């Protein structure tokens, strides 16, 4: 079968699924078919489908909302701030301000 004509099926082997490169439309189509949440990046859709093919379980997207404030500050946030700063000293100043307030 031509790889461009292949469709993901419920009984597909995980190795076969991982072997092929799927376009996002096909990933979304399969998610709709089995009831998997379809709004995600291509990588996340592939992860959800792989979990489904391996275990038959439908994984739900993680709740992105959580506590706000200093307690939930992530390192990625600090890196984003550092990218916006003109000098490393600016980044250190802003990071220390955030961590101390």
Q: How many domains does the chain have?
A: 2
Q: Are residues 16 and 45 in the same domain?
A: yes
Section 61-67 average pLDDT = 61
Q: 62 in a domain, yes or no?
A: no
Q: Are residues 78 and 39 in the same domain?
A: no
Q: Give me the count of residues in the chain.
A: 101
Q: 21 in a domain, yes or no?
A: yes
Q: How far is CA 50 from CA 26, 28, 65, 84, 87, in A?
A: 14, 13, 25, 37, 43
Gap between the Cα atoms of 2 and 40, Å rounded: 27
Gap between the Cα atoms of 9 and 84, Å rounded: 45
Section 66-82 average pLDDT = 55
Q: 19 in a domain, yes or no?
A: yes
Range of the domain at 21: 3-55
In the chain the first and final C-alpha atoms are separated, in Å, by 61
**How is residue 79 written in tokens?**
């890196």
The pLDDT value given to residue 14: 86
For 15-55, what is each residue's pLDDT tens digit?
888 888 899 999 999 999 999 998 888 988 998 999 999 88
Section 76-88 average pLDDT = 61
Q: Are residues 16 and 48 in the same domain?
A: yes
Q: 63 in a domain, yes or no?
A: no
């Amino acid at each position: 079968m031509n790889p461009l004509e292949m469709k993901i099926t419920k009984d597909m082997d995980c190795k076969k699924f991982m072997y092929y490169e799927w376009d996002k439309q096909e990933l979304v189509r399969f998610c709709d078919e089995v009831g998997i949440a379809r709004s995600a990046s291509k990588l996340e859709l592939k992860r959800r489908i792989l979990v489904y093919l391996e275990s038959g379980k439908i994984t739900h997207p993680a709740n992105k909302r959580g506590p706000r404030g200093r307690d939930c500050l992530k390192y990625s946030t600090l890196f984003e701030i550092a990218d916006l700063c003109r000098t490393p000293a600016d980044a250190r100043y802003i990071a220390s301000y955030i961590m101390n307030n």
